Amino acid sequence: MLTINQMTKTYGHGETATPVLKGIDLEVNDGEMVILHGSSGSGKSTLLTIIGGLLTPTTGTIELNGRSWNDLSTKEMTSMRLHDIGFIFQSSHLLPYLNVKDQLISVAEEKGVSLCDAEQRAAALLHDFGLSHRAQSFPNKLSGGEKQRTAIARAFMNNPKIILADEPTASLDKERAFEVVEMLKSRVQSSRTICIMITHDQRLFSIADRLLMLDDGVLIEQTHQIRS
């Protein structure tokens, strides 16, 4: 479980202080997908960046299965990002000189996984995401949906405990967006991974287990109609 308690983030000091996050409390269970939305400047990306260990909150705590971010050294935080957190962005950020399979293998090798184990893991993920036939293809030969599916498969390569996705379908049409997010949710559930996804696309809200809105730095939980 991911637990956030009374987290704040303020930029500047004194009269120039600008509060961005105002006392965020949140619990996300293993295997749960949460969609986060809100207007531009509401603090969504700041919240995701803090959870990802790339930014320090002003006050408050973040814990994963009882382990607090506050107790981690810089080296330990870097290790946690590599081993426990997967990132997915609006752009797939695929390396143009690596084929689809090697996009995944390079992540595992960075963690120190043997080439044999990395290849087996990559093959299984590409199969699950319907990309086996694209294993040898380079990014310039992929469709937008295939690029994002590759990026998602890559994010799962190290068996992360948390997936953080920032507008992963912004460049996709409705059909491809649903396809990508439903594959993501299926993987989140089967691997018992925590997923927090930012999206403005209201068509995707019904896929989430929970819907949260950030309004001027305040987190509000919403109800939504589950799509049949």
Q: Which CATH number belongs to the domain containing residue 107 in this structure?
A: 3.40.50.300
- Domain-embedded: residue 228: no
Full pLDDT tens readout for the chain, 228 residues: 999 999 999 998 888 889 999 999 999 999 999 999 998 888 999 999 999 999 999 999 999 988 898 888 889 888 888 889 999 988 888 999 999 999 999 988 888 888 899 999 999 999 989 999 999 999 999 998 899 899 999 999 989 999 999 988 887 888 888 888 998 999 999 999 999 999 988 889 999 999 999 998 999 987 654 443
The residue segments making up the domain with residue 172 are 2-222
- Domain-embedded: residue 156: yes
- Domain-embedded: residue 58: yes
- Domain-embedded: residue 35: yes
- Domain-embedded: residue 149: yes
Model pTM score: 0.89
- Domain-embedded: residue 127: yes
- Domain-embedded: residue 227: no
SS3 67: strand
Amino acid at 59: T
If one counts the domains in the chain, the total is 1
| SS3 sequence of 70-129 | HHCCHHHHHHHHHHHEEEECCCCCCCCCCCHHHHHHHHHHHHCCCHHHHHHHHHHHHHHC
- Domain-embedded: residue 170: yes
